[in-house]
Amino acid sequence: MTKILYCRDAGFDCDATVRGESTQEILDQVRPHAAHAHHVEVDEPMAKQLEGLIVEA
């Protein structure tokens, strides 16, 4: 089942949607997006918070 993370759910004014088959796949895509679009480094505490925002589609 596909997993989804909506950037807006993480508190950003952003319409990006990240899809993947696993939590790790999503986090691997989120890290460069966060760095480029929001100038934020996704460290381990933030990754844990983001994991809680991932939903199944």
4-30 per-position pLDDT tens digit: 999 999 999 999 999 999 999 999 999
pLDDT the model gives residue 55 = 98
pLDDT the model gives residue 22 = 97
Burial class (CB in 10 A: 0-12, 13-18, 19+), 26: buried
What's the mean pLDDT in 30-49? 97
pLDDT the model gives residue 13 = 97
What's the mean pLDDT in 27-45? 98
pLDDT the model gives residue 21 = 98
Sequence spans of domains, the chain: 3-56
